[in-house]
Amino acid sequence: MRGASRASRARRRINDIALQRIERLLALAESEAMRAKNEDESASDMMRRCNRYVELAMKIGMRYRVRIPKHLKMRICKNCRSYLVPGRNARVRLRKGEYITTTCLNCGAEIRRPYKAPRPPSPRKRQRE
């Protein structure tokens, strides 16, 4: 019994470290992308480095079976796995009342995300009034 809890604690710790590394790699990709946006000299090298960070983050996620957080996953192209930077290698369009379309300019893939529907008022609040 005691060994099982120790193993689960170790597993949880490993997953936590993997998640921290994923977040750190994608933060590095973000900073490199911002540098690439400002400096045109070696922008292709910086974008290559961004894509390498994404590749490493995805490998860590697959190896330790840890999901990449949703707010970070939206910045990765599902087709070519490149880091999406609006204006540099991604086009973002808003469809009125429907969805957000992000087009990867490297491979041409479109990613559609719906707008969140407004939540109805809670029934608990109605009971209080």
Angle value at C-alpha 21, between 116 and 108, nearest 5 degrees: 50
Rounded-to-integer distance, Cα 111 and Cα 102, Å: 5
| Phi, psi (rounded to 5 degrees) for 26 | -75, -25
Determine the pLDDT at residue 2.
Answer: 55
Q: What is the mean pLDDT of the chain?
A: 88
Rounded-to-integer distance, Cα 73 and Cα 67, Å: 9
* Number of domains into which the chain is organized: 1
Residue 81, SS3? coil
Could you read off the pLDDT of 27-85 as tens digits, one per residue?
A: 999 998 888 767 765 778 888 999 999 999 999 999 999 999 999 999 999 999 999 99
Determine the pLDDT at residue 93.
Answer: 94
Model pTM? 0.79
Cα 63 versus chain centre, distance: 17
**Residues of the domain holding 94:** 2-128
CATH of the domain at 121: 1.20.5.420
Both tokens of 32, joined, read: 């490199």
